[in-house]
Structure 1
Amino acid sequence: MSTTTVCIAQAKTLGNAVPPFTPHAISVSLPTWKDNVGYEEGEKRVVDSMVTGYPRFFIHRSIQQLASICEQKFGVADECCILVPSRKIAEECRAFLLKLSPDPTNLIPVRLVQFLIEDETGASRHVGTLPSVELHIVLFPAQHFPLAKQFWQHTGLGISSRLAEHCLALISTASNSPKSTSPTIRTSPCKPSNRHYLVKSPISPSVTRKHQDSQPQIETFDAEQGTYLEERYGRNMPLTAAPAAKRALRRRIAGVLVHDEPGDCPSGPCAGNEEAKLGPSSRGENVSEDDVYLFPTGMTAIWSAHQLALAARPPARSVCFGFPYTDTLKILEKWGPGCHFFGHGLDADIDDLESLLVELTRSQDATGNTAGKSPPILALFCEFPSNPLLRSPNLPRLRALADKHDFLIVVDETVGNFVNVEVLPHVDIVVSSLTKVFSGDSNVMGGSLVLNPRARHYAALKATLEASYEDNYFAEDAIFMERNSRDFKRRIHVMNTSGEAVCDFLRSRSLAATPPPPHAVIKEVFYPKFITRENFDLCRNRSEDGAEDEPYFGPLFSITFTTKAASEAFFDALPCHKGPSLGTNFTLACPYTVLAHYTELDWAQKYGVEEGLVRVSVGLEGREQLLADFEIAIKAAEATA
């Protein structure tokens, strides 16, 4: 297949769902480097092609439609809204808007409305769906939508597209009922209280909806067809079985299932049944399903971990250790007292962190008020390994500092995943995006938070979380996640071996090879096998008897090139899906820095995240096919030299 053929074929996919024909797709096709830049710059050619996008950045069209109905029903002139699943979240959103009001003397007017949508026909009883939904609407002047969108993006707390579709179906049912011309509504207006990749939706949902007739449409089934197909061929359960699905997910994440294979129970989640056989956790002594909490997105889990730390521990700034996924840093900066940023995440940064801790402790001592002295920092947040540089921090050394200075450690293990690494014994809280490799199918969002029962502050964290936790994970999303994750371990083992083979191949064609090939244009391959390997090995999984098994490094890696032209040529020629997200069952690539940091390229460069960096997540395709595909891309890049 020639490079030209690849580019022509991929150009036809611009703006479409990835995977194709997936109504709730997590990714969107941006097949060329120029397309990614065009989207970041709001180029009409690209923006007009978008039918979907990553859910925390692009508001799904079902959510847009529902928001339009809510604005018409409850809004006043020039108001728009965002939709959330609970009153508590609506109040968090209002607090965020008030805190960040552009003019502190004239706070943004925010109204909260509760909208109860009920099925008055009784149809839900016959099809196993939920009979009612309590929707919460945050209304504000349309000019402040970009600020409200930050809350949506950073926290991941907005409603899911499946919940929006369910609401639309209930509204349609109620509207067609002979008993009523509109759904049952309860409203409770509230007065304002006193005080990435950057895949953007460039205008507010209300503005987008005005032009929806001219937008490309996604090929979808109606609700009955979709439900039938998933329950008949996709092995999905009815929505009323969501508690069993969530129980299965918590057990799977806790590692307490003795038998958890896809073939064990093809018609439903045996893992969630009361009679499921449970044993000691594979993740550490005393870990149980009760230590696992589910959230609608991975970012919600991170935001909730930070909120938990703020509620359970004395207030202080946090530490962001290593260059993180963009929204993690935003959460630490915009909520609470702020954060200290150690953007390289290398061992030398631990030296600097230790110096900071000593300095902060000394400053506290100098005040003379040592009776109620607080820890110098609240918590340290890091990734293992990091995205996109695949660096692994020295967790045992950080744990020793945390024990000495009494702060929490929160680790995002999304990239490492608990099959490959074992970080829980070293930390207080583990968070993960289940959206990624745990799901694999790229059609549902989800997140998890796991407490370490052997950690010093476990009792306080557990009590605080039990008192504050809300289960806002929509039933249908949980059911899809449970189904997708049944073969998680099998898939990750395939991706591990393919990912390592591809990275070995790319490194052999890079400047790091001995000797380097004469026309090498690959500067560096960022992969845990090659980057901070000694730290990765400290936390990699081993056999139950402690034997030195062959390490697995995961399916994610990044590449940098000697020139920007080589980066663009490699990316454009690579014959795979192109778009945001990672951990998908298919290989997925993106120009990460362009998508995540287009408005701050110089800042990212300071921490080694180059503009020309390409991030790749290897899927389940055959190894030989993958190597052939990457050969095509390398030749295109080398042709620019």
Structure 2
Amino acid sequence: MTVTSTVARNVLVGLSLPPHTPHAISVSLPTWRDNVDYEEGEKRVTDSMQNGYPRFFIHLSIKKLACIFEQKYGLKGEKCMLFATQRVAEQCRSFMQDRSVTTRLLSLLICPEDKTHGRIIERDGRAEADCTSTATANIHIVLFSPDAFPIAKQFWQHTGMGISSRFADYCLSMLPEEVTQTGSPSPPPTTPRFPGKAFNKHYSVKSQTNTLSRPASPFRDTPIARKANEVETLDPDHSVYLEERYGRNLPITFAASAKRALRRRVAGVLIRDTKYDCQGEPCAGEKDLVVGPSSRGVADVSEHDVYLYPTGMATIWNAHHIISAVRPSAKSVCFGFPYTDTLKILEKWGPGCHFFGRGIDSEIDDLEVILEAEAARHPGTPPILALFTEFPSNPLLRSANLPRLRALADKYDFLIVVDETIGNFVNVEVLPYADIVVSSLSKIFSGNANAMGGSKLRHTPSLVLNPGRRHYAALKAHMNANFEDFYFDQDAIYMERNSRDFRRRIRIIDVNTETVCDFLRSRSVAGGAPAESTVIKEVFYPKYITRENYDHCRIKTPDAGGFGGLFSLTFTSGAASEAFFNTLSCFKGPSLGTNFTLASPYTILAHYTELDWAAQYGVEAGLVRVSVGMEDTEALLRLFEVALKAAEETRN
């Protein structure tokens, strides 16, 4: 196959990734300029946005539903945010009130007695008696003045607890057509610009035909590959058909079984997982299925220690919230340069945090000094609440020294929360060192980039609780009393189906990534290439970065224990970064862990308003992050060879 380097072969700016996916969690930003213009709020890009990463971009369906409620219930042009439970809505209201914003909270019941008589009922205690339908939707609305929208957006973005686009579609489907036809998305409120640089997230959208250019596609023969090479316009019914067929959807009646299967899969208790249905139901979710001791490194972990949330960031916010509820108040620690919202959560909720932005062993010495000082100042009280770390980190792929951190946690009585999204539990075993393990299931666990989800366990991805740790009983009791399942059923169904073959996919991606990284590092300064003949400075990948710490947790079996599917590159010049990115013929957009290769100028997208700050920790403005997919290995290598040649030509 001949691979060309023309950027025009990528999906057009603003369209969904994967293509033709109504609920995609990535969006095409195919050139460096597109990404900068997106951050600057240039209309050329923002007016083209039909989709985006869900916590940064409000999906058209959610905007439409919000517009209906704003028109019906808003006073003096009020805007609103939508949530699935009253508790989350109250948490949003509290966040805004703490910042001196006046809000109103309204709880509604959507009751579709039939398509022409669907009703919205205010929850005043009589709603259930007034509604005879079994297919209803509860929705909770926080209303506020338009100029407070940026503050509401902070809660939406940082916590990841807003409604999903599928939930919005479900609500819209139960409303009469005369209501939904008048509820077209309203223009976004004007957001203030920050000094020095543009405000970096936008919700602007514009209706347009869903047409795409043919991407250079070295994919194996997959539905994504076949559909990505077609040029067509999709009507809504066709879009739904494609997602249901290639998402291998199940009837909504199987939602409980799908969630049970997900919890077992995450807990590692399945004797045998399978990609086949058992009489139409997920085999892993059968009530009488035989399960065994967890394979996650802590035998007592069960599916009942796993809690599912709508997004990965929701698991981090809730982990912090739960620990704060059962432990004395204190600052937390963010160890290592994290994905941006993790640090924001620790800074904006509670008394703040200590930030160790490099996440290297020498910083553990600095941490120990703080712990000793705080313990001496307040004897009998834990010096910190909890330590949060990623394993490995995003985007520098550094792995913390978990055994040493665990020893400090036991000595000073604080909890450890590990985000294993990047490493994933096929490759690493971090459970023995953590009190809580969180993960974004929408990444490689799903792979299809068409469903949000996160989980936690006191030791796994999602929110999982580890029965082997001293604070397990308090955490478990709190979860039993307070946990709300607001993971939308349809999203869970897609996630369960997507994840059935995640181990097989991870093995393919691990091999692809290691092959590509070995090639690129051989052409880098860090890999020994002469500085005058290369443009790559460093390849950030667990095989080369903090390798000893990663290996300590790496699973060393024949079918597991790779180095993951994510890596980052830094270059000797900005021109080389841009040339490499613009020439690389793969999909370009936010997110990671997709079955297809996906690249982004990570620092531009995540830290555009704070580039100098990020650079202090080695996260350079020209960094390119790549999530490798399942394409043919040799075809992938050719893509990177062409991109590297273009970058090297900038030296002339």
TM-score w.r.t. structure 1 length? Answer: 0.88
Residue 330 (str. 1) matches residue 344 (str. 2): yes
Q: 2:291 aligns with which of 253, 256, 278?
A: 278
Give the whole-Å Cα distance in 2 for the aligned partners of 1:217 and 1:74. 32
| Corresponding residue number in structure 2 for 1:292 | 306
Q: CA deviation at 1:9?
A: 2.2
Q: What SS does the aligned partner of 1:159 have?
A: coil
Corresponding residue of 2:226: none
3-state SS of paired residue (1:438): coil
How do 1:71-110 residues align onto structure 2 when only pairs under 5 Å count? 71-101=70-100, 108-110=101-103
Over 3 Å counting, the alpha-carbon distance change for 1:61 and 1:231 in structure 2 is closer
1:383-398 equivalences under 5 Å are 383-398=390-405
Aligned to 1:39: 38
Query: Structure 1: which amino acid aligns with 2:93?
Result: R
Match of 2:25 in 1: 26
Q: How does 1:355-366 map to 2 (within 5 A)?
A: 355-365=369-379
Is the partner of 2:202 in helix, strand or coil? coil
Distance 2:629 2:349 in 1: 36
1:254 and 2:278 correspond: no
Decide whether aligned partners of structure 1 residues 351 and 311 sit closer, same or farther in structure 2, where only a CA change above 3 A counts. same
Please give the alpha-carbon distance, in whole angstroms, between the structure 1 residues aligned to 2:141 and 2:414. Answer: 37
Kindly indicate whether residue 433 of structure 2 is the aligned counterpart of residue 426 of structure 1.
Answer: yes
Partner amino acid for 1:618? V
Partner of 1:468: 482
Q: CA deviation at 1:216?
A: 5.6
Aligned equivalent of 1:13: 12
CA positional deviation for 1:109: 1.7
Partners in 1 of 2:545 and 2:307 — Cα distance? 32
Residues 1:230 and 1:36: Cα distance change in structure 2 (over 3 Å): closer
What is the SS of the residue equivalent to 1:640?
Answer: helix
Local SS of the residue matching 1:584 = coil
Alignment partners' CA distance in 2, 1:640 and 1:174: 57
Choose which of 328, 335, 338 in structure 2 pairs with 1:314.
Answer: 328
CA 390–231 in structure 1, closer or farther in 2 if over 3 Å, else same = closer
Does 1:618 find its partner at 2:628? yes
Q: State the match for 1:633 in structure 2.
A: 643
Match of 1:193 in 2: none
Counterpart selection for 2:151 from 138, 147, 151: 147
Determine the structure 1 residue equivalent to 2:68: 69
**Is structure 2 residue 131 aligned with structure 1 residue 121?**
no
Look up the equivalent residue of 2:501 and give its one-letter code: D
Note the C-alpha offset of 1:493. 0.4
Shift in Å at residue 440 of structure 1?
0.3
Distance 1:173 1:119 in 2: 12
Deviation, structure 1 residue 279: 1.3
Q: Which runs of 5+ in 2 are unaligned?
A: 118-132, 183-197, 212-232, 458-464
Q: Which amino acid aligns with 1:639?
A: E
Instruction: Label 1:363 to 1:220 Cα distance change in 2 as closer, same or farther (>3 A).
Output: farther
What is the correspondence of 1:174-573 to structure 2 with a 5 Å cutoff? 201-202=201-202, 208=204, 212=206, 221-222=235-236, 234-263=247-276, 265=278, 267-283=280-296, 284-365=298-379, 373-450=380-457, 451-516=465-530, 519-543=533-557, 551-573=561-583
1:513, distance to aligned residue in structure 2 (A): 2.7
5+ residue gaps, structure 1: 102-107, 183-197, 366-372
Pairwise CA RMSD: 2.5
2:384 aligned counterpart, secondary structure:
coil
Q: CA deviation at 1:278?
A: 1.0
Shift in alpha-carbon separation, 1:220–1:243, aligned structure 2, 3 A: farther
Q: Report the Cα offset of residue 275 of structure 1.
A: 2.6
Contact 1:50 1:216 in 2 (8 A): no
Report which stretch shifted further, 516-525 or 325-334: 516-525
Q: Judging changes above 3 Å, is the alpha-carbon distance between structure 1 residues 164 and 199 closer, same or farther for their aligned structure 2 residues?
A: farther
Deviations 1:514-556 (CA, angstroms, capped at 9, x unpaired): 453751110000000000000001111134xxxx988410010
Helix, strand or coil: the match of 1:435? coil
Q: What SS does structure 1 have at the residue aligned with 2:295?
A: coil
* TM-aligned CA distance change 1:382 to 1:504, over 3 Å: same
> Which one-letter code corresponds to 2:497 in the other structure?
R
Amino acid at match of 1:56: R
3-state SS of the aligned residue for 1:138? strand
Distance 1:336 1:515 in 2: 47
Query: What CA distance in whole angstroms lies between the structure 1 residues aligned with 2:236 and 2:34?
Result: 31
Cα distance between partner residues in 2 of 1:550 and 1:21: 33
d(CA) in 1 for partners of 2:85, 2:370:
39
Shift of 1:272: 0.6
- Deviation sequence 1:97-132 (CA, Å, 0-9, x none): 01122xxxxxx22001111001202999xxxx9700
Contact 1:51 1:216 in 2 (8 A): no
Matching residue's letter, 2:172: L
Contact kept in structure 1, 2:276 and 2:282, CA below 8 Å = no
User: How much has 1:374 moved relative to structure 2?
Assistant: 1.6
Q: Percent identity?
A: 62
Partner SS state of residue 523, structure 1 = strand
Partner of 2:123: none
Rate the CA distance shift 1:561–1:90 in 2: closer, same or farther, 3 A: same
CA contact (8 A) 1:235 1:268 kept: no
Q: In structure 1, what residue type is equivalent to 2:62? A: I
Measured after TM superposition, the shift of residue 43 of structure 1 is 1.1
| Residue identity matched to 1:243 | A
Cα deviation digits, residues 388-426 of structure 1 (max 9, x gap): 000000000000000000000000000000000000110
With over 3 angstroms needed to count, the CA separation of the structure-2 counterparts of 1:381 and 1:232, relative to structure 1, is closer
Determine helix, strand or coil for the equivalent of 1:139: strand
Distance 1:231 1:442 in 2: 14
Give 1:612 deviation, angstroms.
0.5
Deviation at 1:598, TM superposition (A): 0.5
